[in-house]
Structure 1
Amino acid sequence: MNGPRPSPAVLHTPGFAHYSLAWSPFHTNRIALASSANFGLVGNGRLHLVSLTPGAGDGLTLDKFYETQDGLYDVAWSEVHENQLVTASGDGSIKLWDVMLNVSDTPDHDLMPDLPIRAWQEHTREVFSVDWSNLQKDLFASSSWDGTVKLWSPDRPRSITTLQAHSSCVYQALFSPHQPDLVATCSTDGTLKLFDLRSPSYAPTSNPAAFSTPLSSAVLTVPASGTEVLTLDWNKYRPFTLASSGVDKVIKVWDCRMIKTGPDAGQQAVGGVCETQIVGHEYAVRKVQWSPHRPDVIASASYDMTCRVWTMAPAAGRNQLLYIHDPHTEFVVGCGWSLYEEGVLASCSWDSRLNVFRV
């Protein structure tokens, strides 16, 4: 890039390391931050609600925050209610919040702290991701270190479906933006999996009155890495195209239409073709996100303290790397594109800072 880079808008929240951020699908300037004390290892959490003031001197304002008893690892806005959002917690709980509730403004706030409007406690270990479907807008998904993915409706007291997705930690579960019944997951076992929610939850046995263990009924398993896969994302323009990355530091783009059947797969397809590999980060990649405005652009956040932007279609003789954002002083674990303004990207880090900048 030519010329000096404009300074990012910065919000500092001392004492709370940021784990994830989400732009509102309803408001152009509203961001939610999921944060944890003591880098998420022990202690409480906090949900921050932030506004971006647009213009030449972009700034960030902390509108309000909600305290939680355990660290928060992820956050997702409702697709049906502009003031509601859901959080994933280290104590295995999932909470639904309404940002218009102002209990903290009441005189007896000490006796009645800010509370979620609904809470669920089914996962047996940390909940590491939540994702709200933008096609089936009454559904959201959670994934946990207990190896399961659960589907929820905000109006129901219990989960709708449980997928025994992996044998170990499921770092992320995301609905397809193209097919309402498709969910992709990634795990410590080094695989990506695609689940079709129309498939039966249980596999019948020879005894018609009995059922087997809940089926890990993936329609496709992609052996994506020899080590942990920490993040994935669906391309917003190309169905069945996903990106993944993790401990191996390599961003990989997969065409999941190209399937081969493994010799021991039974009814389960194993394969997927790796279209592109992007090498450049120095440490594990914690987050990848495709641009909502361009099919060839992807952002990544890494333990190397940078957020980077890449293109899958570089001009002749040019590098895939488009931009490096490196003001953070700790692990960068989250990034997210503005849904309304092309080229605006946010990053969050364990340095307790949220940055919003223009690429």
Structure 2
Amino acid sequence: MTPLPSPRCPVRSFNEHSCEVYGVDWNTIRRDSFITASWDDILKLWTVDRPTSIRTFQEHTYCVYSVSWSPRHADVFASASGDSTVCVWDVRDCGSNVVIPAHNNEVLSCNWNKYDECIFATSSVDKTIRVWDVRSPQAPLVSLSGHSYRVKMVKFSPHQENILVSCSYDMTVRMWDYRAEDSMVSVYDQHTEFVYGLDLSVLIEGLIASTGWDELVYVWQHGNDARAMP
């Protein structure tokens, strides 16, 4: 039986980006590959069995903050950049398929809808969240306002098509129903510093984890109180 690698030693180490690597996303369909996004303005496609990247994607003109694989298409991903654009790529093509001037300032994150292969969301320094249909990218389907400072991350619910969650430097986590007239569902404001990351449980509906500069991780259950963990 082959021994497992030591938890102190990485399976493989990759070193090609020339600046901070700011985002990474595994391909959930072709599970041996992943994409990285960097402050060197580029994205790189990797597999775990090769020591060098398979391909470099270089069209953004400023830091690339976020990358998100399509949950339905193994070759399609989106990237969000400080150049105020989101690019939609197909790894089989020589360049991006769609370039969207998504916000009026830096775009900090992007995330695909798990139930509609054409819908994705973006968040920005301009304090807004926008939902897009890649088939008609001339204007967002909706723009969500409520955060009072830059929106660091946005993610769609893995359980409900119309629900998404965001976190912000305004120290809050917010849940939204982007199809509702009154779109803001909940506000969680226990953090005392910038909220920098979040994720949603794929097993328990409404269960959210958030992390902030206050050195705390909060676990939220929609409709219940939060639990803090140092």
User: Could you say which structure has the higher strand fraction?
Assistant: 1
Match of 2:227 in 1: none
List 4+ stretches of structure 1 deviating above 2 A: none
Q: 1:125 to 1:223 in 2, by over 3 A?
A: same
| Aligned equivalent of 1:306 | 172
2:142 pairs, out of 276, 281, 294, with 276
The structural deviation recorded for 1:131 is 0.3
Superposed CA deviations along residues 113-135 of structure 1, whole A, max 9, x for unmatched, are x2322111000000000100001
Inter-partner Cα distance in structure 2 for 1:231 and 1:303: 13
Aligned sequence identity (%)? 40
1:330 is matched by which residue type in structure 2? E
Q: What's the CA shift for 1:246?
A: 1.0
The equivalent of 1:328 in structure 2 is: 191
CA shift at 1:165, angstroms? 3.3
Say if 2:122 is the partner of 1:244: yes
Gaps of 5+ in 2: 223-230
In the TM superposition, 1:132-171 aligns within 5 A as: 132-171=26-65
Q: How many residues align?
A: 219
Task: Quote the Cα distance in structure 1 between the aligned partners of 2:150 and 2:53.
Answer: 32
Q: Deviations over 1:90-127 (max 9, x none)?
A: xxxxxxxx8x735xxxxxxxxxxx23221110000000
With normalisation by structure 2, the TM-score equals: 0.92
Shift of residue 218, structure 1, vs aligned partner: 1.1
Question: Does the CA-based 8 Å contact 1:170-1:186 persist in structure 2?
Answer: yes
TM-score by length of 1: 0.59
**For the pair shown, which has the larger CA radius of gyration, 1 or 2?**
1
Q: Is the 8 A contact 1:256 1:272 kept in 2?
A: no
Shift of 1:327: 0.7
What RMSD over aligned residues (CA atoms) do the two structures have, in Å? 1.3
Contact 1:149–1:165 under 8 Å retained in 2: no
Hey, what does 1:61 align to over in structure 2? none
1:123-157 superposed Cα distances (whole Å, 9 cap, x missing partner)? 00000001000011110110000011001111111
Cα distance between partner residues in 1 of 2:123 and 2:153: 8
The match for 1:292 among 141, 153, 158 is 158
Per-residue CA distance 1:224-268 (angstroms, 9 max, x = gap) = 11210001110111112111111101111011111xxxxxxxxxx
5+ long unaligned stretches in structure 1: 1-97, 103-113, 201-216, 259-270
Amino acid at match of 2:213: W
